[in-house]
Amino acid sequence: MAGFLSRVRSSFTTNSLGEFIKDLSTLGVNYNKEIARRSQSVGYYEKDQMRPGNLMNPYDMDDEYGIFLQAALMDVTSKKSIAFYDQSYTKKREELRKVAIQEEIEEILDILCDEAIVYDEKKMFASVGNLTIEIKNKEGFQEYLSKTFKKLYRTFGFQDDQTAWWMFRQFLIDGYISYEVIYSEDEKEIIGFKQIDPVTLQPTIDEEGRPMWVQFKGDPKHQRELYDSQVIYISYSSVEKSTRDSYVERLIRPFNIMRIMENTRIIWAVVNAQFRTTFIIPMGGKSKNKAKESLAKLMQQYNERVDFDSDSGSLNVNGSPNMPFYRNYWLPEKDGATPQIQNVGGDGPQLDDTAVVEYFYNKLRSVSKIPFQRFDKEGGGGNVEFSADGIIRQEYRFGRFIDRIRTIFSEILLKPLIQQILIDYPEYQDDEAILSDLKMVYNKNNLFEEFKEQEIFEKRANFIMSLQGVTNEMGAPWFDTEFLVERFLKLDEDDIKRNAELKKKNKPKEGEEGAGGFGF
C-alpha cells in the first residue's frame, strides 16, 4: 500500500493535512531506516535502478535523504510497477483500449468480469471477512467493520451494479487505476474518491521519510503533492512480474495473427468473386509511343483497388461500397492474330476450410486462461451442472487466476477501510496482526470450484465416520473424534476455535429441547 517522489514543493501543498493522516502514509512501508543506512550490498531490485541518470535514483546515495528515498522506491516497485516510469505506456494504453473493443476480446473480458464481480440480491459483490484473531476489549468490532465497509462501498458508488464491473474491466485493459481518497474537513472520515490518471503520478517521500505521490511533476500550474494515505494505486503487474502492463496485452499477438488470417481469406474471396472475361482483338500496327499510350490507358481502365476495414468490416472496391459482379477486359493484339475470348480465374484456398483461422482462434482462447468449454456455444457453452464429477483442471486453475487478480483489486476498498479503522482506532496503527487479518470476501460464481470443495469436504467427513467404527478388543472406539477431525478434515485452528465458540453459544440450556445431546 506504500507509494512514493521528489522534495520539490509546489504552490499547491498538503501542509494543511493533519499529522496523523500524513503518518497513515507509512502504513505498509517495509523499509527500515537503520537497515537502509547500514546496508553495504546492492539489493536485487537496486541493480538496474542505481545507474546514473535513472529516474528512480535522482539523489546521491551518500545523502541520507537519498538513501531513504531509494529504500522507499524499492519498497513500492518490488510490489507493483509504476506507469510514470514507462515512457511508452501512454501510447500502449491507446492500443490496448483499441484492441479491447474488438468483439473477440470483448467476449473474453465479459467472461472475466462476470466471473470476478458477482452481485448478490443486496447489490454487493464483496464483503469484509470475519476476523480470525481475538480483539481484546472491542466488543462489536466485527459489526463496526461490516458497517464501515458498506459505507465505503456506497461512497464508491458500487451499489449500482455497474461501477465496480466497469472499474474491474478498466483494470484489465489499462493495467493501472488510481484514485484520490478525500477526507472530511475534520479528517475524521473518508467522504469520497476521485479518479486520477496513474500516468501523472510519481512516488517519493517527504523529508521525514513518509511516502508521497507527486502529480504532474515539474508543471508549475498543475503539480500536486499527495501523501500515500490520499492515494489508491493498483497495477496489474503485481499479478504478473513481467513486461505486460495489463491483461489485454497478452491477447494482442494471437488476436492480430487471427485477424490477419481472417482478412487474407476475405480479401482473396473478394478479389476472386468477380467473373472475368478477356477479349483479345487484332489491331493495326502502332508506333512505340502510341503503344505506350494504349498501355497506360489499359492500366488505368483495369486497375482495381480493394480496401477492407478490419475494424468495421466494410469493403470498398475502387472507392465504391458496391462490388461489380463481373468485369470484361478488351485487349488489342498485333495484326494477323486471331480474336480470342476466354475466362480468367484463379485457384485459392477452399473457403469452407476454416482450420487455419480456428487454430489461431484457439490460440487466443488458450492465452486468455479461460477454459475452452466456456466458448463452446454449439456444445452448450459449458453448461453448469450441479455436480463436481469430471471437473477439469483448467477450471480449477481459472479459479486461482481470478483469485489472484481479485487480491490486487481488493486494495480499492481495503486500503481506505484500514485507514478509516486507524482514524477511529489509532491504537491499532502498530498492530500488524489485526491489519493483516483484514480481507475482502468476493461473491463466488465459479460453481465448479465450489462444488469440488464441497465434494472433497463430504468425502473427508465420510472417511472420518468410517474410522469412528474402528474399535479395540473391548469394543470401544479406537480413534478420538477430535483427533480425526484435526487430522483428516483439514480445518485450521481458527476454524476449530470458531466452531467450538458457536457450539458453546448455541448449546441448549438445561430443560430445553435438545439438552443432553451432543451439542451439534
The per-residue pLDDT for range 72-104, each reduced to its tens digit, is 666 666 667 888 778 788 999 999 999 999 999
Instruction: Give the three-class secondary structure for 381.
Output: coil
Distance CA 513, CA 501 (A): 20
Give the model's confidence band at 170: pLDDT under 50 very low, under 70 low, under 90 confident, else very high: very high
Please name the amino acid found at residue 449.
E
- Per-residue pLDDT band at 39 (split at 50, 70, 90): low
C-alpha distance from residue 324 to each of 304, 349, 351 (Å) = 11, 22, 20
* Continuous H helices in 61-140: 64-77, 89-100, 103-116
High-pLDDT (> 70) share of the chain, %: 62
Residue 2 pLDDT: 40
CA distances from 99 to 109, 311, 446 (A): 11, 10, 27
Q: How confident is the model at residue 506 (pLDDT cuts 50, 70, 90)?
A: confident
Predicted confidence at residue 352, as pLDDT, reads 57
Please report which confidence band the pLDDT of residue 427 belongs to, taking 50, 70 and 90 as the band edges.
confident
| Residues ≥6 apart with Cβ < 8 Å to 467 | 479, 484, 488
The tens digit of pLDDT for each residue in 44-76 reads 555 554 444 444 444 444 555 565 566 666 666
Is the pLDDT confidence value at 518 over 50?
A: no
The proportion of the chain whose per-residue pLDDT surpasses 90, expressed as a percent, equals 25
Given a cut of 90, whether residue 126 has pLDDT beyond it is: yes
From 170-174, 202-206, 503-507, 511-515, the region with the lowest mean pLDDT: 511-515
The C-alpha cell that represents 244 in the structure block: 505486460
> Residues 219-247: pLDDT tens digits?
888 899 999 899 999 999 865 555 688 99
Q: Is the model's pLDDT at 519 over the cut of 70? A: no
Q: Any long-range contacts for 443-448 (C-beta under 8 Å, 24+ apart)?
A: 443/118, 443/119, 443/120, 443/124, 443/125, 443/126, 444/118, 445/114, 445/115, 445/118, 446/115, 446/395, 446/398, 446/399, 446/402, 447/384, 447/386, 448/384, 448/388, 448/391, 448/395, 448/396, 448/399
Whether the predicted model's global pTM rises above the 0.85 cut: no
- Spatial separation of the C-alpha atoms in residues 381 and 43, rounded to whole Å: 49
Among the listed residues 191, 193, 189, the one whose alpha carbon sits nearest the alpha carbon of residue 181: 193
Q: Which of 434, 520, 403 is nearest to 141 (CA)?
A: 434
Beta carbons within 8 Å of 171's beta carbon, 6+ residues apart:
177, 234, 236, 246, 409
479-489 residue pLDDT tens:
888 888 878 88
pLDDT exceeds 90 at position 215? yes
Cα torsion for 108, 110, 116, 121, to the nearest 10°?
-160
Indicate the pairing of strand 306-308 with strand 231-235. unpaired
Which residue would you say has higher pLDDT here, 194 or 475?
A: 194
Per-residue pLDDT, averaged over 354-371, amounts to 85
Question: Quick check: 71 and 31 in contact, CB under 8 A?
Answer: yes
Beta carbons within 8 Å of 40's beta carbon, 6+ residues apart: none
Inform me whether the pLDDT recorded for 32 exceeds 70. Answer: no
Q: Tens of pLDDT along 147-160?
A: 999 999 999 999 88
Query: Using 50, 70 and 90 to split pLDDT, how confident is the model at 433?
Result: confident
Inter-residue contact 213 to 233 (CB < 8 Å)? yes
> If you average pLDDT over every residue of the chain, what do you get?
75
pLDDT higher than 50, residue 373: yes
Judge contact between 447 and 118, C-beta under 8 A. no
Residues written for the chain: 520
**Position 40 confidence tier, pLDDT thresholds 50, 70, 90:** low
User: What band does 193 get if pLDDT is binned at 50, 70 and 90?
Assistant: very high
